Amino acid sequence: MSSLDEIKNLLDGTLNPESLEDNLELYEMAESIYGREVLEQMGVEAPERPSESIVQPNGDAKHEVEMPIVPIAPPDPIPETPKSRRWGLFVFTTIAISLILTNLVVGYGSFIPLCDEPDSETNCEDKLILSEIANYQSPNSWTETMELELIEIGILVFLFGIMLFSLRKK
């Protein structure tokens, strides 16, 4: 009997139980269709199943070779990138600190005349007050050099902190 006829008989329910015991594929089909309990009630025993190892033919030879399953090697570790400093941030903070210290010690008014001195009754000094920078043309925005203000101290401390942070390696 051909395999197609056996499958038709299995689906019709007219297949002989002995042919199920001899053919593993037919038994598995019958088990998925009818269930294992029904087959056991009919007295059909499961055929022996082959081992789970991989069997591959070896070229033109008449014997088969069992290939072992090769374990997968762990991936190579990712190399660490060399640590570098943040030089752009360091240069920026150095320039900003030098500008603030130049204003504190020498004053911008000694380099660039930004105050409207001829129009006012008070003389403009050399140092620009950073908290009054928006109104830089007024004489009240200028003071004598070497007079520290709270905002200048805060900005300098902040910039020194950023400068030290930029020297740290990534």
* pLDDT tens string 2-61: 578 888 887 787 877 777 777 788 788 888 888 888 878 877 777 676 655 555 555 555
pLDDT of residue 96: 95
The tokens describing 27, both together, are: 């038994």
Q: Residues 61-67: what's their mean pLDDT?
A: 65
pLDDT of residue 148: 85
- Residue 85 — very low, low, confident or very high, per pLDDT cuts 50/70/90? confident
- How far are the Cα atoms of 1, 134, 154, 164 from residue 159, in angstroms, in the given order? 93, 21, 9, 9
In the predicted model, is pLDDT for residue 118 greater than 70?
no
* pLDDT tens string 94-110: 999 999 999 889 888 88
* pLDDT tens string 127-149: 888 888 888 777 778 888 888 88
CA 158, 160, 166, 169 dihedral sign is negative
Taking the C-alpha atoms of residue 26 and residue 103, their distance in angstroms, rounded to an integer, is 96
In the predicted model, is pLDDT for residue 119 greater than 60?
no
Please report the beta strands in 20-134, taking only residues with DSSP state E, as ranges in sequence order.
55-57, 64-66, 127-128
Residues 132, 140: contact at Cβ < 8 Å?
yes
Of the two residues 152 and 114, the one the predictor is more confident about is 152
Q: What does the domain layout of the chain look like in residue ranges?
A: 1-47, 87-167
